[in-house]
Amino acid sequence: MSDLDAIDRKILRALANDGRITDLDLAAKVGLSPSACLRRVQELERSGVIRGYRAVVDPAATGGGFLAYVSIGLATHTKAPQAKFEAAVASAPEVRECHNVTGGIEYLLRVEVRDLAAYKYFHTEVLGVIPGLASITSFIVMDSPKDERA
């Protein structure tokens, strides 16, 4: 569904800000009747524009207050090493996101752990044992003044 109109975009913005908004409140916010609004939301879900709803969890409350972005360069730039790397990080619960990117590296990871000691363990015992890595560069997050991930 690529033909989103202004109402669809209002619906998406409202749901991105509050995924638990009631159907009645959403309809009022976007200026539709509740039944028309519900039909639009269902169509956005059916067509895959809305892929799901999530809880935004405070990492510190669940023992994961240390955040790092990690760039990964592979020694060989072919499909097999990429598949092996992706399989290795898929099983690592510390890796919350893994993105295959363009540029001087192959991957960018978002890693959440308890503290620096836990990150050192992850860096050495999880990433450090994956064959075929040419570089690992860590960017430790000190603060996130804007974070709209849901």
Is the four-CA dihedral 26, 32, 38, 44 of positive or negative sign? negative
Per-residue DSSP letters for 31-51?
Answer: T--HHHHHHHHHHHHHTTSS-
The confidence score (pLDDT) of residue 2 equals: 60
| pTM of the complete model | 0.78
What CATH number matches the domain at 59-140, 3.40.710.10, 3.30.70.920, 3.30.420.270, 3.40.50.1100?
3.30.70.920
Kind plus residue range of the DSSP H or E element containing 113: strand 107-113
Residue carrying structure tokens 């430790």:
140
Q: Where are the domains of the chain?
A: 6-46, 59-140
Contact criterion met (CB below 8 Å) for 65 and 59: yes
What SS3 class is residue 130? coil
The confidence score (pLDDT) of residue 1 equals: 47
Compute mean pLDDT per 10 residues along the chain, 150 residues long, and list them.
Answer: 86 93 96 97 96 85 90 95 96 96 96 96 97 97 86
- Distance, in Å, from the CA atom of 81 to the CA atom of 93, rounded to the nearest integer, reads 21
- Distance, in Å, from the CA atom of 115 to the CA atom of 19, rounded to the nearest integer, reads 30
- Distance, in Å, from the CA atom of 59 to the CA atom of 74, rounded to the nearest integer, reads 29
What CATH number matches the domain at 6-46, 3.30.450.20, 1.10.10.10, 1.10.645.10, 1.10.287.370?
1.10.10.10
- Distance, in Å, from the CA atom of 112 to the CA atom of 118, rounded to the nearest integer, reads 9
Joined tokens for residue 69: 């972005």
The confidence score (pLDDT) of residue 56 equals: 82
